[in-house]
Each structure stands twice: as C-alpha cells, then as structure tokens.
Amino acid sequence: MQQFRQLRPVSKENIPLEQIHTMISFKFFEEFGRYLLLMKKSFVRPEKMSIYRKELLRQMIEIGVGSVGIVIIFSVFLGAVLTVQTAYQFTSPLLSKSIIGSIVTNSTIIEMAPTVTCLILAGKIGSSIASELGTMRISEQIDALEIMGINSAAYLVLPKVIAATIMIPIIIIIGAFLQILSGLVVGHVSNVVTATEFMQGSVQYFIPFTVTFAIIKATTFGFIISSVSAYLGYYTTGGALQVGNSATRAVVASCILILVFDYLLAELLL
C-alpha cells in the first residue's frame, strides 16, 4: 500500500481537500459573478421597444401556453393523491373530516403549488430556455446578433426572464386552484370526505397571507428558473453535446436553487 502510494503520480486526484474546497468556492463565485454581469447586460433599456414588446409577448405565450398542459395534469393528480393520502392518515372518528380540506388547501397553497409545481416547470421551461440559447450560441446566431449591433443579452435574455417571472405565478395560481378543486371532487366521489366538509375545512383554517406568500415564491422561482437557465444556455461552448449538458445543468441548478430559496423564504417570511 505504502509503495503504491509512492508510485502514484501527482495528479488532480491527489490535490489536498482544502485546496479542492477553495477551487470549488472560487468556481462558484466566478460563475456567480458572470451571472450577475449577464443580468446587468440584459437589464437595460431596449434599443427598439416595439420589437422587444413583440418578443416579450411571444415568450409569454410560449412559456404560458407551453406549460399549462403539464401543470393541469400534474395539479389534478397531486390534488387527488393529497386528499386520499391525508384521509388515510386521519382515521380517528374523533377528528372532524373537514380537517382534510384544511390540510389539502394549506399545503397546496404553501408548498405543493408554488414549490413542487415549479420544480416541474424547471424541467420544462429551464431546459427549453437553456437549449434554445445554447443552440443559438454554438450556431453563431448570438454572434450574428452582436455583429448587427444588437445587445444579444437584452434581446434574448430579458424577454424570457420577464415573461417567466410574470407567467409562472399565473400558472401556479391556476395550478393551485385546480389542485384544491381536484382534491375536493376526488374526496367527494371516493366517499372520503364530502364536498361540504372539505370546503368547510378549507375556509375555516384559511390564512390569507399564504396566498401572498405563494405568489412571492412563484415570482422568485420564475426569475430563478429563467435567469439561471438563460445564463447556462447563453455561455454554452462546444457543440450539440454541450447544449444537452447545459440543458441538464439548467434543470439541476434551478431545482437546487428553488429548494434553497424555498427554505430561505420560509425562514424570512413565515
């Protein structure tokens, strides 16, 4: 063993752990700095308002219409599952069934709709933004914009970030509504809890601030998904393989950041 260690050449694997830590944190700050610079370059007054307005509209439609299908399916099933499983946990005859409605409603508004749905949207929207920009980068379409004298970051990134930050909260509100509705209907149909009991619970323990909280979360997550994915796509280098990598990294990074900010916002606002 001793001998083996001596024979091993000095390679990357032998770098002491502290050094790797500094390398990672350096890399993180470097990336974060580049991300901030891209945001600074993107958030400027557009050169030609009419074109940007048109592009913003196009992105809003693409993000909105493109995501609404998956969110409907997801929300309907999640609401149903939530009701059935909550009911399964509350079998005691001492408890009012209406508590099921209260739990489903609150957990939907606080966590399921904004956070869990955004994790799904990170997969859908994040990968599409990153691969679109990545493809434009490697096929020199971004260079072509720059050559024309157009601020490519402002033209490509800004409309996407604004569109996602506006549309994702709207989608989330639709999702939350559907989820609760689905919980109510499924609970009633499967004889777990009647619609009246469910609604009673929903209303009785309803905390209005949770709605504000959910919208704040969805807006934050919308910004995170779009800006992080745009950043990773915009700075893709290489070829088709790297475009795929960027899309994957966009989804992973968005999901992790959503979870981190989910916690931070809960600490901060609740």
Partner 1 sequence: MIEIRDVRKAFGEREVLKGVSGMFETGKTSLIIGTSGSGKTVLMKCMVGLIKPTGGSVIYNHDVDFTLLDEEGRKEIRKQIGMLFQGTALFDSMSVEENILFPLNMFSDMSVKDKLNRVNFCLERVNLKGTNKLHPSELSGGMRKRVGIARAIVLNPKYLFCDEPNSGLDPQTSILIDELIHEITEEYNITTIVNTHDMNSVLGIGDYIIFLHQGLKYWEGNRHEVFASTVKEMNDFIFASRFLKEIKERSSGN
Distance between CA atoms of residues 210 and 255, nearest Å? 22
Contact 213, 246 (CB under 8 A): no
Closest CB to partner 1 among 99 and 136?
Answer: 136
Nearest residue (CB) to partner 1, 149 versus 208: 149
Distance in Å, CB of 131 to partner 1, minimum:
12
Distances (CA, A) of 47 to 43, 44, 52, 60: 12, 9, 8, 20
Q: Are 98 and 187 in contact (CB under 8 A)?
A: no
| Rounded least distance, CB 190 to partner 1, Å | 46
Decide whether 30 or 143 has the Cβ nearer to partner 1: 143
* C-alpha–C-alpha distance, residues 125 and 146, integer Å: 25
Query: Considering the complex, what minimum distance in angstroms separates the CB of residue 144 from partner 1?
Result: 4
The site for partner 1 (CB under 8 A) is made up of: 47-48, 51, 135-136, 139-141, 143-144, 146-150
Q: What number of other Cβ atoms are within 10 A of residue 265's Cβ? A: 17
Of 135 and 242, CB closest to partner 1: 135
Q: Which residue's CB is nearer to partner 1, number 1 or number 148?
A: 148
Determine the distance from the C-alpha atom of residue 6 to the mean position of all C-alpha atoms in its chain, rounded to a whole number.
Answer: 48
Q: To which residue do tokens 């009012």 refer? A: 96
Nearest-approach distance from CB 137 to partner 1, in angstroms: 11
Please say which residue, 111 or 146, places its beta carbon nearer to partner 1.
Answer: 146
- The whole-angstrom separation of Cα 71 and Cα 120 is 8
Contact 129, 226 (CB under 8 A): yes
Q: Tokens at residue 212, please?
A: 């504000």
Q: Which two tokens stand for residue 28?
A: 């993180």
Which residue, 21 or 238, has its beta carbon nearer to partner 1? 238
The distance of closest approach from Cβ of residue 45 to partner 1 in the complex, given in angstroms and rounded to an integer, is: 13
Shortest separation between residue 26's beta carbon and partner 1, angstroms:
17
Q: Rounded distance, CA 238 to CA 99, Å? A: 55
Tell me the closest approach of the beta carbon of residue 61 to partner 1, in angstroms.
13
Distance CA 242, CA 69 (A): 29
Query: Which residues lie closer than 8 Å to 70 by C-beta, 6 or more apart?
Result: 120, 121, 124
